[in-house]
Structure 1
Amino acid sequence: MLSALLVVVVAAAPAVRVRTETRPMMGTTVTVTLVGGTPEKAREGFDAAFGAFERVNQVMNEWRPDSELSAVNRKAGDGEWVTVPEDLCAALRRGVQGAEQTGGLFDPTWAALRGMWRFGTDLTPALPDAAELKKRCALISYKDLEFAPAADGGAPGCGVRLKRAGMQLGLGGLAKGWGVDEAVKKLRGQGFKDFFVQAGGDFYAAGKKAGRPWKVGIRDPRGEPDSVFAVLEVSDAAFSTSGDYENFFVLEGKRYHHIIDPRMCYPATASRSATVLAPSAVDAEVLTKSVFILGGQEGLALAEKHGASAVVVTGDNQVLVSPRLEKRLKRLKPPSP
């Protein structure tokens, strides 16, 4: 999957070594860039960072039948508490918090829709069956993800359950951001100050590169995959982008894509892309899709309400920017029509 944001390379000073390693993980590509350090130190950093992603992939990947998240899904509606590890418990609680922050636009129980909307170049474009979609849509409710009361002296982790049969958890809207944040913790713990971590459209830029802030390009939603319409300077912050150009099909002249508005379970139409800058990658990822769904000034207001900033390309191709980003954003051209 092509990332929505592209790193704009800045030449490093000759005395500073920049090392980059990329691995396919979590249904996308994960890239870690380290500035400075010995080869041995860099190897330790890479192993620690990718190890953090491997842990997230094992615990939070609903597509893996052996993941702890899949164990919760298999028990949906049977009334049993499923004990999950501490990190998954924390991620699920963060998912509920994100749902509350966004009025349900972000919802970790979205996966009841899995398989209803299908995107792929090898598939014939088709809309889902309306009756089945309505049935599945009614199963989306973060309020029916329940947590067991804490037991004194109990084992680490927590008990969780899905209240109704047919409900399913999906953490695709925060797992990559969670992995980025965990990798950042590992790298900081090893003494790295200048680095860049990317998982698909979720990023964290730490410190600087060649003495200057990292620069990233915001993809032109209707341009070529490597075309950007603006460049943003970032340092010690996370950012995430969602766009309607990654997974989509066109049917009878209308674009249908993978960013689903859970209120009606159809692709959102208010935006072409949304980029959110926030203190953590999870914060950015949770907010981005909700900003995309709302679009316009309402989307910007949601980001700003929760201490983030945003750049939105609206459905009618207007570019809206949070005031805090105006001086850090360099516009190269208007987005393609």
Structure 2
Amino acid sequence: MIFKLRPYLFALKRCGIFYLLILILTGCGQVPSVKETRILMDTFCEISCYGDSKDKSIAAIGAAFKEMERIEKVFSKFNKNSEVSNINRLAGLEKVAASEEVFKLTEKSVYYSRISDGAFDITVAPLMEIWGFVRRHKSIPDKETIENALEGVGYKNIELDPKKLSVKFLNKKTKIDFGGIAKGYAVDRAKDVLVSRGIKNGLVNLGGNIFALGSAPGNKAWKIGVEDPRNKGKLLRSFELTNRAISTSGNYERFFEIGGKRYSHIINPLTGEPCQGIISVTVAADSAEQADGLSTAIFVMGEEKGLNLAKSIKGIKVLILKEDGKIISYP
């Protein structure tokens, strides 16, 4: 993943999203700006702040990164000491006490599973493992292996006790993976830190999960462009956002090819196989968590069912790019 700089254009190429900073040259020099990029959650994270004090912006960005690093330690499936790893080890055997943060995001994840009829599902972890997306060696599992993994997949295998804040899996093969929502959640928390530090205008971008805080200097909103992954430099559509988020899920982010066929990391938890037919889904919503979860859900559901879901949720915007070249925009 590479950041490239053009006049007034910062591009996050592989995510398919970039934001256009349409700045007035006579005015942008009067607005102190601070931007920092780090690697978090296995992707690039960039935080930009625009305000009246560089020192305040630097401190706010540092605090926002610290919060995102904390969240990564909690939700990482690769860190054997993370809370999620502990739940995956024990919840198939007994009830496991969870922090309020993990419990609430698990509850929210189950909500997205319900409204998408299981298309979004954090219990997809066993399938991610057999397809090799949690290790370097990718492989195509046989039918028996997929069916065996599917036994542990399904959000109804998660039993939550809100009084005790406990999590239990009803199937010993069940494991959870917050990869389809944790980045959006982290972006929201980073935005909250910026706001608490007095930042009114800025961007938090974690691997294409973006929250646009306030507006771009000299403009009424941030202009976010969605790039056509088939035609670099060409826009599919742009979104004007103020205090809103946007996220893109695509089959060009993480994949492998065998025999000329592409296998995406976005796996249908109902069939156990990588999704086909769609290249990318972009969702603009009130929160990065919502945009992240819904972009994954709609990608898995496909055009017809995905649009029906979108129409049932107030205030979101959706852009779908299909493998046949068809572009669907809602509303």
TM-score between both structures, scaled by the size of structure 1: 0.87
- For 2:301 and 2:109, the matched residues in 1 are separated by 19
Cα distance, 1:38 vs structure 2? 1.4
| 2:111 aligned to which of 83, 94, 97 | 97
| 1:111 aligned to which of 103, 122, 125 | 125
| 1:86 aligned to which of 81, 100, 117 | 100
Residue 275 of structure 1 corresponds to which residue in structure 2? 282
Residue 6 of structure 2 corresponds to which residue in structure 1? none
| 2:255 aligned to which of 208, 229, 248 | 248
Per-residue deviation, residues 94-141 of structure 1 (Å, max 9, x unmatched): 111111111110111110123222369x85x64212211111022111
- For 2:296 and 2:172, the matched residues in 1 are separated by 26
Amino acid of the structure 1 residue aligned with 2:192: K
Mean CA deviation greater in 20-29 or 242-251:
242-251
- For 2:85 and 2:317, the matched residues in 1 are separated by 34
Q: Which runs of 5+ in 1 are unaligned?
A: 152-157, 324-337
Cα distance, 1:166 vs structure 2? 1.8
Is 1:294 aligned to 2:301, yes or no?
Answer: yes
Cα distance, 1:161 vs structure 2? 1.7
Q: Which runs of 5+ in 2 are unaligned?
A: 2-13
The question of whether the paired residues in 2 share the 8 Å contact of 1:215 and 1:232 is answered with: yes
- For 1:23 and 1:188, the matched residues in 2 are separated by 20
Residue 3 of structure 1 corresponds to which residue in structure 2? 15
SS at match of 2:236: strand
| 2:61 aligned to which of 22, 32, 46 | 46
| 2:215 aligned to which of 208, 216, 222 | 208
- For 1:210 and 1:149, the matched residues in 2 are separated by 44
Cα distance, 1:289 vs structure 2? 1.2
The question of whether the paired residues in 2 share the 8 Å contact of 1:193 and 1:207 is answered with: yes
Aligned-pair identity (%)? 32
TM-score between both structures, scaled by the size of structure 2: 0.89
Is 1:144 aligned to 2:152, yes or no?
Answer: no
Moved over 4 A (4+): none
- For 1:261 and 1:247, the matched residues in 2 are separated by 15
Cα distance, 1:256 vs structure 2? 1.3
| 2:166 aligned to which of 159, 163, 166 | 159
The question of whether the paired residues in 1 share the 8 Å contact of 2:123 and 2:177 is answered with: yes
Cα distance, 1:215 vs structure 2? 1.6
SS at match of 2:45: strand
The question of whether the paired residues in 2 share the 8 Å contact of 1:270 and 1:294 is answered with: no
